[in-house]
Amino acid sequence: MNDAMKHPHGDLSGSIAIELANNQTLDDFCDEYISDYNRDRFEAIGIRLLLGKETIITVYALDKLRQEGSTYNSDKLPVKKFKLTELPADVLFSYCAGLNFTLSTGNYAIEDMEVMNK
Classified as helix, coil or strand, 44 is: strand
40: phi then psi, degrees, rounded to nearest 5: -70, -30
Sorted by where each begins, the domain ranges of the chain are: 17-101
Task: Please say whether the beta carbons of 33 and 26 come within 8 A.
Answer: no
The reported pLDDT for the residue numbered 96 is 93
- Tens of pLDDT, residue by residue over 50-83, are 999 999 999 999 999 887 666 667 788 899 999 9
pLDDT band at 19 (very low <50, low <70, confident <90, very high): very high
